[in-house]
Copies of this chain bind each other. A is one copy, B any other.
Amino acid sequence: MPARPDHGPPTRIADLDTPRLLLDRERLERNALAMRERCARLGVRLRPHLKTAKSLDVARIAAGGERLGVTVSTLREAEHFARAGARDILYATAIAPNKLARAAALQQETGCDLLLVTDSIETVRRAGAFASGAGVELSFLIEVDCGEHRSGLPPADPAVVEVARAIHAAPALRLRGIMTHAGHSYGTDDSGSVTLLAAAERDAAVSAADAVRAAGLPCETVSVGSTPTVLLADHLTGVTEVRAGVYMFWDLAQLSRGMCRQDEIAVSVLASVIGHNRAGRSLVLDAGALALSKDLGANRYLPDAGFGYVCDPVTLERLGSLSVGAVHQEHGTVTLDDEAWFSRLPVGSLVRVLPNHACLTCAAYDAYDVVRGDAVVDRWARVNGW
């Protein structure tokens, strides 16, 4: 069976229009396997975070044939995965009260076990009233802050136990556990610091869970995670599951922090050279701010990352030291260190750009063109939006 029946026999990369989002299947499979092995060594369950991939096909590869629970960042992702058969879903963004009815409807429609998150007594009050009135049951994890200072209660704050009591006391709510996220582990390129952050993440979640249990309340789930802390934790005793997502694809931000090798990065943007700006000694690509995103997170530790490394369209090796240095909405500018690039990359040439931040870049596309070497073997849909 041809992989892309609407296009006849399998396509080559050179047959694709641009810009396109390419996903290297072999790299993805290796990345997914490595994380499953890492979690097996840690003795902890992996609940892959699908906010980067937003794809059922990628979720299946992340699971490696097992029936894993998944993590999502939006209710639209939850709906997508639940309708495809996912039975155990953690929606890891604190739920807005206006989304309670939609979450309950998804549970009822699909029978999935949907774990919600909050750090707010007000959300618990509204969820309790809503669920009682609607005759449904909603499950909650309490979010604690392990140092990122984005969201979540401080783990030693008496409010953790107060929120836990309020959930447990509401007849239509179920207290399921504690979650935290060491997103600040992206803020360093020092592996020893990440190991310390992983310990702090673990201790925040475990100590909050201990406090909840000491109050006589249930706390079956203790959920932590970010790709760096899962990779570099010394141990995860007391943790029941980890969440990680960007490891499936990697990106220049993770490369810049020493979390991956360049030849592990599985996503890239296929672009065309659409102009030679000889006066400015630059190439113009048809991949700009929308195709690449305006995220510059890699540049803190990789000052030549720009908006992405410019690579060979087939080997994915970087072309010299070329980067996308500036973007407009549909234009990317690649400043050249050598005019010889004008003859090496004539107008019409294809390049692949390794993204700064996979989560942001992928969000501009409704599908991946899946490649094995030079062959385009599949096309996988993404579920964007909310």
Contact = CB atoms under 8 A, between A and B. Distances in A.
Shortest beta-carbon contacts, A-B, top 7: A96-B272, A97-B348, A122-B347, A94-B274, A120-B347, A93-B330, A73-B330
Contacts of A149: 277, 279-280
B294 A151 contact: no
A151 to B, nearest CB: 5
B17 A286 contact: no
Interface of A: 16-20, 51, 73-74, 93-99, 102, 118-120, 122-123, 126, 143, 145, 149-152, 154, 157, 183, 272-277, 279-280, 284, 286, 289-291, 293-295, 326, 328-331, 333, 346-348, 350, 359-360, 363-366, 384-386
A143 B279 CA distance: 14
Contacts of A154: 279
Contact of A328 (B18, B183, B294, B326): B183
Copies of chain A in the complex: 2
A97 B16 CA distance: 11
10 contacts: A18-B96, A93-B331, A96-B274, A97-B272, A145-B277, A150-B328, A157-B279, A289-B360, A290-B359, A290-B360
A363 B152 CA distance: 30
A182 to B, nearest CB: 12
A201 to B, nearest CB: 16
B385 A366 contact: yes
Nearest to A126: B348
A37 to B, nearest CB: 26
Given A183-B328, A346-B122, A348-B122, A99 B17 contact: yes
A123 B293 contact: no
B363 A276 contact: no
Contacts of A93: 274, 286, 330-331
Contact of A275 (B20, B102, B120): B120
A351 to B, nearest CB: 11
A98 B385 contact: no
A96 B277 contact: no
A135 to B, nearest CB: 21
Contact of A364 (B273, B289, B363): B363
Contacts of A350: 98
Given A94-B275, A97-B347, A386 B17 contact: yes
Given A18-B96, A93-B286, A333 B150 contact: yes
Contact of A294 (B17, B20, B274, B293): B293
Contacts of A365: 385
Contacts of A274: 93-96, 120, 123, 151
Contacts of A386: 17-20, 291
Contacts of A143: 275
Nearest to A159: B278
Given A149-B279, A274-B94, A102 B17 contact: yes
Nearest to A99: B17
B98 A272 contact: yes
B272 A329 contact: no
A331 to B, nearest CB: 6
A152 B73 CA distance: 42
Contacts of A94: 274-275, 284, 286
A123 B385 CA distance: 36
